[in-house]
Amino acid sequence: MSELYEVADFERFWPHYVRLHTLRQTQLLHAAATCACATLLTLGVLRRNVLLVALAPLTDYVIAQASHRLYERNRTMPWRNTLWHTRAELRMLRMVLTGRMADEVKRHASTP
């Protein structure tokens, strides 16, 4: 896991991230978590509700980490590099929604 955070840039981080998210169930739950977070943030801002804004990242974290425990049997540490994790979450969401994530998993399955 530590090698995930020892890389120099996001493009070197991404293959490690993909290998932590190989199962479709995990990817779908992460997509749901990202959408829930975005929805709560949007509603919180529009309604000027600080509680909704505060619940947004917590909701994302709980759903995403549950997917790792239930399906992947691994853990991630998004607080170690929040910006890269957020960027990776958004990239994965886009790939899940466009049906390209399975190919990305295959592409990075054997990357050292």
| pLDDT for residue 30 is more than 70 | yes
> Using an 8 Å Cβ cutoff, are 56 and 44 in contact?
yes
Q: Which residues contact 66 (CB under 8 A, 6 or more apart)?
A: 29
Round to the nearest angstrom and report the end-to-end CA distance of the chain.
13
CA–CA separation, 18 vs 101, rounded Å? 9
Question: Angle 36-14-101 (CA atoms, 0-180°, nearest 5)?
Answer: 60
pLDDT per residue over 59-81, tens digit each? Answer: 999 999 999 999 998 888 888 88
pLDDT of residue 2: 53
Q: Which residues contact 61 (CB under 8 A, 6 or more apart)?
A: 33, 78
Question: Averaged over 83-105, what is the pLDDT?
Answer: 96
pLDDT of residue 76: 84
User: pTM of the entire structure?
Assistant: 0.89
